[in-house]
Structures are given as C-alpha cells and as structure tokens.
A and B are shown apart, each in its own frame.
Chain A
Amino acid sequence: MTQTDMRAVFLEELTRVAPDIDPAGVSDGDHLQDDLELDSMDILNLVAALHQRLGIEIPEADYPRIATAGAAAAYLSAAAAAD
C-alpha cells in the first residue's frame, strides 16, 4: 500500500472512532490529541481498529509516531513493507 492509501485508511478508521471529525478537514500536520481532541481512549480504539484492519500492531511506545495523519501514513506503510 502506498503512503496515500495508508493515509486514506488511517483517516477512515479515525473518523470511525471519532464520527464527528470531517476527514476532508484533517491536514497532514494536525495532531490527534492537541488539534483533533482525541483522548487516550480514542487513540487506543484507533490503534485497535488499525490492528484489525491492517494486522499492524502498534506498540504503546510508538503512539507518538502516529500522532498526525502525515506521520501515521509514513509509519504504517513502513510497517506494512517490513512484514
């Protein structure tokens, strides 16, 4: 999957966890907690959804690496390629 595909998957799961976020309004640099107001429970639900969807298990220590859509796209495509 390309980074663009990964970004789309990430945004899809993000808006499933937080249905009131408009995916079109999320820019690459928006921070999940500071800008999009996700709390720790939302982040966990997002990580669980990404695990189910992609089979990628994101350890807690790596949460900062998916803190924005841009960072997450890069992290997830690298993780998928490493599999």
Chain B
Amino acid sequence: MGLFTMPSLGSDMESGTLAEWLVAPGDTVARGDAVAVVETQKGAIEIECFEAGTVQELKAQPGQVLAVGAPVAVILAAGEAAPEPEAAPAPAPPPAAPAPAAAPSAVERAGVGAVRASPAARLRAAELGVDLGGLRGSGPGGAIVLADVEAGGGGGTGKPASRLDEMRKAIAAAMTRAKQTIPHFYLSQTMDVQDAIDLLAVRNSEAPPEERILLGAVLLRAAALAAQKAETLNGHYTDGAFQPAAQVNPGLAVALRGGGLVAPALEDAPSMPLRETMAAMRDLVSRARAGRLTGSEMTRGTLTVSSLGGTGGEVMAGVIFPPQVALIGIGAPQLRPWVAGGRIVPRTVVTVTVAADHRVSGGRQAARFLSEFETLVSQPEAL
C-alpha cells in the first residue's frame, strides 16, 4: 500500500486535524482497522486502512491539520519495500492547507492524543485549554465526557459548542449545495404500521431490554429491502452521471443534542435480519453520540433514512445528502381513523416520503419504492 494519505470523509471536506494515533510503527494492521482519529467538521472520525500491512512510519503529529490527500503514514504490505528506503524518518510535512476558518488552534495546544473523548468534551477541553490526557473518563469504555472536562477544568461559563457550530456550518454547506444543484421531487404515502407495532409489543414484553426491538429498526429494514428494488434511488450522482450502488448502505440520520446531525451508513443493511439491524442501529447511534464513527461509515452511504422517531411531525420531506440521490423521510407514527376491510378502525400509521433527484429518477420509481415499503411493513413477521 505504501503511503497512507488523509482520506476524504465527505465531498465537502478539505482537511482534518489529526487527533490521535491508534497504531504505532511496527504494528501490523488488517484491512479495515482504524489507524487514527481525525477531527473534522462532522466530529471525530476513525479512519481505516484498506490493505493489510505493517506500519512503517507515522508522518504526522496529533494536532496537525492535514489536507485531503496529504501523507499521514507509511504502511507496507508483506514484502513491500518502503517508498524511500534510504530516507531517515522525515520530518512531518507542514500542513498543506490552511485550517478551515474556525478549526480551533486550541485543539492543537490541548494535546488530544491517545484518549477517547466525546466531541463535546474535546471541544470544551480545547476551549478551556485542558489536556484531555490528564483527565479520567467516566463515559463508555473510559471515554472522557463533557462532565469530566468540566470537573477537571474547573468548570467555566464560556460559550459552549463551537464544535457544533462547525458541524452546523458543514451541514449548511452540504444542504445549500443539495438544494441548489439537485432538482428534488417528493412522493409520500401513508401506511398502516399497526401490525408491526403489535408484533413488537408482544415480542418486547417477553424480552429483556437488551433484546427489545424498536419500530425504527423495522422501518429501516423495510427501507433497505425496498431500496434493493429501486436502483435509481440507491447510488451517487458524480461528474454529471448517476452511478448505481452495488449494495444498499442506508445512512441513518442521527440527531445530536444541540443541533448536530450525522448520517453514518449501515453497510449492506439488506443482509441483516431484523434483530441484527436493531443491534447495528444501537451501535451506530451510541458511537455517533460518543464521537466514534469510522471513515467508511461517513462515506459509504448510498441513500439516507431519516426518521422522526416516536414523537414529532407526521411528514418529513427531507433534503438529499449529496452525492446521494434520495432521502427517505419517515414521520412520527400517528393514531388515525383508517379504512380496513370496509370499516373505519383506529390504526397507527406512518407517512413515508421519498425525496429523490429528478435527474436520476421519476415518480414511477419512487412510487414503486413506497409500494414495496408498504408491503414489507404490512408483513412484519417476515422481516
């Protein structure tokens, strides 16, 4: 593999700040292993290597701002020669690009190496000039959370959440680009999900909390399976052409407190039975909250599923996340009068809205997706 460079973690990313190395020279790595944590506008992301090998050299220091494509490390496959065999360990190259406007230089001073910390904690530490390495974490896996920084850094009343401001900026840029360049159209259908709710209520009443399944998992599974039959909704629009994706990796929109939003991908979701879908969702949401998503989760989404969950509005017509070509918006379930078998009965219904790119698909394909979705949720035991 040779030179490992800063990957692009989104079409709008220009650079990232190396936060932490997860490997050291001499370590062997497998394909998909996380090698470093990079701070981006979208939070702290674990970046992975895509070939197995041995770490020969680290070419960047924690705190350094690295442009996409800048050398980060040398990782050699078995038997591969170093690209510059005679060279002594080179000095880390200077940052190849200026920091994004508000990339806080305090992050560099705060020494964020070799610790697990939530994005909010990293941010607060940077603001307070607190060294995360000197704190004890009380979060999952010993991660440092906001409260630890506040406790260790003497509290403070400074303005919080400029990291969230950064995330908002990234969202603003992507959403503005989406609305300016993607001709969106929308198609909605309201469908009966009472059978799915009833089935889950029975199963969950017999299950310990760890094994309970949320309606959101049923809806995500239905979306993933329906997307398999809707080729023109699943893929990327790049360089003026649509590239259908070979597998369905739905990005799951996760709202973060304070206004942040990330949509990590659930790779090959159609292959996961309902229980597995639920477990994967739980894992993604917890890691999104703790600031531990991976680079591939951030970039491999082929369409996005955004669900309002148990409470909220009943219809959501969303904005497509470029370069994807569709977003499935799922409103909060509503108890409504519903006609079934010629009678009016109270049923819980959900309105699913496809926002799609009209350059790539039309109403017929979106309608087919919705019809397939409805069929799937009407037979929940088959999911």
Contacts and interface: CB of A to CB of B under 8 A. Distances in A.
Interface of A: 15-23, 33-34, 36-37, 39-42, 44-45, 47-48, 50-51, 57-61
B277 to A, nearest CB: 12
A20 B120 contact: yes
B208 interface: yes
Given A20-B257, A33-B310, A40-B310, A57 B209 contact: yes
Interface stretch (B58-66, B126-134, B284-292, B346-354): B284-292
Contacts of A34: 311
A57 B147 CA distance: 28
8 contacts: A19-B120, A20-B120, A20-B146, A20-B289, A47-B209, A48-B210, A60-B201, A61-B205
A21 B289 CA distance: 11
B282 interface: yes
Contacts of A50: 209
B118, B143, B257, B258: most-surrounded residue (chain A CB, <10 A): B257
A41 B257 contact: no
Chain B interface size band reads 20 to 34
Contact of B257 (A21, A58, A59, A61): A21
A60 B205 contact: yes
Contact of A15 (B147, B282, B310): B147
A60 B281 CA distance: 19
A54 B145 CA distance: 23
Contact of B289 (A18, A33, A36): A18
Contacts, number: 80
B145 A20 contact: yes
Contact of B216 (A20, A40, A58, A61): A40
Interface string B197-213: 00001001100111010
B281 to A, nearest CB: 7
A74 B309 CA distance: 27
Interface of B: 118, 120-121, 138-140, 143, 145-147, 150, 201, 204-205, 208-210, 212, 214-216, 255-258, 281-282, 285-286, 289-290, 309-311
A19 B289 CA distance: 7
B44 to A, nearest CB: 13
Contacts of B204: 60
A8 B205 CA distance: 27
A15 B286 contact: no
Nearest to A38: B257
Given A39-B255, A39-B309, A60-B205, A15 B216 contact: no
Given A39-B255, A44-B282, A19 B209 contact: no
A19 B145 contact: yes
Nearest to B214: A40
A22 B146 contact: yes
Given A18-B257, A19-B143, A22-B146, A41 B285 contact: yes
Give the 10 A-B CB pairs with smallest separation, nearest first.
A19-B145, A48-B209, A47-B209, A20-B120, A19-B118, A41-B285, A39-B309, A40-B310, A51-B209, A19-B139
Contact of A16 (B139, B210, B216, B255): B139
A18 B289 CA distance: 7
Given A19-B121, A19-B146, A41 B208 contact: no
B209 A23 contact: no
Given A15-B145, A60-B204, A20 B118 contact: yes
